[in-house]
């Protein structure tokens, strides 16, 4: 019987370094969920289509189901768990809460991570720009109207906080 080949990888996730012995084919999404217990990253299609698994690799949104963990060892990974502190939701999360922008919540982590990068580059977007930014993140509950509203509210509250 042949044994499964494993290799040692080290990944920096949300500012913390993790060292694990894994199969080389392990996807980043599975590494996050099953090796280090960050279950906020969801897996929907596992084919790069739905956006549920969206994380940030070096501050750019990326599908974690399309990357091998072994390939991102020299990058900084951020997951939805990086957004809030124990005391406080991130302003984007607060805006989603206030706008009732989630139903089952399955798509939400990916949308939050996409929104975070989007608002860094465009702090005052209009609704069309928001819809375009989120066009690769599917919501099976189809709550898009409130999601767009929440991103607009997040932009407003983040800009106001910066100008204080
Ligand atoms: S699970 Fe990765 S894009 Fe759907
Ligand atoms: S809130 Fe259910 S999939 Fe978006």
CATH code for position 21: 3.10.20.30
How many distinct structural domains can be found in the chain? 2
Does residue 11 sit in the same domain as residue 70? yes
The neighbouring-strand residues paired with 62 are 55
**Spatial contact of 108 and 41, defined as CB atoms under 8 Å apart:** no
pLDDT by residue (tens digit) across 19-37?
A: 999 999 999 999 999 999 9
Domain boundary at 48, 82, 116, which?
A: 82
Helix (H, G, I), strand (E, B) or coil at 104: coil
CA distances (Å), origin 60, targets 3, 34, 114: 37, 23, 9
23 Cα: distance to centroid of ligand 2 (angstroms): 31
**Spatial contact of 151 and 135, defined as CB atoms under 8 Å apart:** no
Task: Please give the backbone phi and psi of residue 79, each rounded to the nearest 5 degrees, phi first.
Answer: -115, 175
Of ligand 2's atoms, which has the minimum distance to the CA of residue 141? 2
Does residue 62 sit in the same domain as residue 117? no
28 Cα: distance to centroid of ligand 1 (angstroms): 11
Does residue 59 sit in the same domain as residue 96? no
CA-CA distance, 42 to 145, in Å (whole number)? 22
Assigned domain for 137 exists: yes
Does residue 71 sit in the same domain as residue 110? no
| Global confidence as pTM | 0.96
Task: Please give the backbone phi and psi of residue 133, each rounded to the nearest 5 degrees, phi first.
Answer: -60, -30
Assigned domain for 2 exists: no
Give residue 151's domain range. 91-162
Does residue 99 sit in the same domain as residue 78? no
pLDDT by residue (tens digit) across 37-67?
A: 999 999 999 999 999 999 999 999 999 999 9
Does residue 99 sit in the same domain as residue 77? no
> What element of type H or E holds 55?
strand 54-57
């Amino acid at each position: 019987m042949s044994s499964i080949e494993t290799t040692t990888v080290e990944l920096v996730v949300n500012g913390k370094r993790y060292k694990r012995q894994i199969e080389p084919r392990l996807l980043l999404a599975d590494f996050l969920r099953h090796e280090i217990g960050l279950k906020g990253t969801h897996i929907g299609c596992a084919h790069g289509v739905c956006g549920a698994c969206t994380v940030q690799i070096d501050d750019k949104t990326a599908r974690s189901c399309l990357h091998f963990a072994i390939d991102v060892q020299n990058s900084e990974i951020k997951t939805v768990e990086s957004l809030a502190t124990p005391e406080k939701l991130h302003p984007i999360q607060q805006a989603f809460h206030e706008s009732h922008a989630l139903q089952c919540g399955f798509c939400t982590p990916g949308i939050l991570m996409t929104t975070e990068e989007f608002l860094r580059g465009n702090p005052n977007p209009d609704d069309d720009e928001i819809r375009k930014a989120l066009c690769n993140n599917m919501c099976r509950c189809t709550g898009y109207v409130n999601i767009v509203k929440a991103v607009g509210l997040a932009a407003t509250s983040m800009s106001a906080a910066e100008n204080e």
